[in-house]
Amino acid sequence: MSLFRSAGPRTRRLAAFLKRRARSAPARRPEMDCAAFPSLFRKRAVVFTDTADFTLRTARDGILQFLMVFDRFVAEARPSVASAGGRLVKVEGDSLLLAFDDATAACRGVDAIESCLLRVNRGRPSGERLVFSYGIGYGDVLEPEGDLFGLEVNLASKLGEDLAEPGEALLTPAAAAALDKATLRRVVSHRVVTFLNRTVPVQRLKLRSRRRIRHVR
């Protein structure tokens, strides 16, 4: 079974490099990595979403009910994400991984998702509403077809799943530093966290929509 979801040209290029790397002496691998870096990595902004109270919802309503609600939202969200200049890379459980060309576009994407949530949630019973938290990263990532890999992807996932509260969007330092001036004015300090023995000053994006739909209790 392959590590990768699809077999497009970027995936084949990465898989071929990994095979060459595995056959090489460990001492040569850093040099190989540096030489291959321009052809394998791309600058991307990533957004990782997490659904509030996923475990509670599935225990109460069942996984089929959640998947019905989530699938309905994903269908509505795709054009909203595209209108902000992004794309849905994959759905992973109750989360979405999104890619954008730059950090400012990623923030527009979060705004677009929030607007879509308000529209889809409107008039529905509490068990059919969704609330997300968000992690936003920016940096060099591997981009095989159908997936993303890299430190900023990992950090965005950690922020979205573990640190952000429902209705919050948190940014890595690299993402905050890459914003345009107008978007940067919407960013405030959040807290400093430790990740792999590194201190990471996390920032918070003030979402344009302040209408928060209360998440399930």
CATH of the domain at 57: 3.30.70.1230
Angle between helices 63-83 and 54-61 (to 10 degrees): 140
Q: For 122-192, where are the alpha helices, taking DSSP H only? A: 151-158, 173-177, 181-184
Structural domain contains residue 25: no
3-state per-residue secondary structure call for the chain:
CCCCCCCCHHHHHHHHHHHHHHHCCHHHHHHHHHHHHHHHEEEEEEEEEEECCHHHHHHHHCHHHHHHHHHHHHHHHHHHHHHCCEEEEEEECCEEEEEECCHHHHHHHHHHHHHHHHHHHCCCCHHHCCCEEEEEEEEEEECCCCCCECHHHHHHHHHHHHHCCCCCEEECHHHHHCCCHHHHCCEEEEEEEEECCEEEEEEEECCCCCCCCCCCC
Structural domain contains residue 175: yes
Structural domain contains residue 137: yes
Structural domain contains residue 115: yes
The DSSP secondary-structure symbol of 178 reads T
- Residue of 159 and 197 predicted with greater confidence: 159
- Which residues, listed in sequence order, are joined to residue 204 by a DSSP beta bridge? 170, 188
Residue 7 has pLDDT above 90, yes or no: no
Structural domain contains residue 16: no
Tokens standing for residue 211 = 């209408």
Q: How many CA atoms does the CB half-sphere of 96 hold within 13 Å?
A: 25
Number of domains in the chain: 1
pLDDT in tens, 79-98: 999 999 999 999 998 999 99
Structural domain contains residue 93: yes
pTM of full prediction above 0.85: yes
Structural domain contains residue 89: yes
Structural domain contains residue 113: yes
How many angstroms separate the CA atoms of 41 and 37, rounded? 6
Residue 181 has pLDDT above 60, yes or no: yes
Ranges 66-70, 93-97, 207-211: which has the least confidence = 207-211
Q: What is the mean pLDDT of residues 12-24?
A: 95
The amino acid at 89? V
Other C-beta atoms within 10 Å of 40: how many? 19
State what percent of residues in the chain have pLDDT above 90: 85
How many angstroms separate the CA atoms of 34 and 36, rounded? 6
Q: Which domain holds residue 88?
A: 41-205
Sequence-distant (6+) residues with CB within 8 A of 75 are none
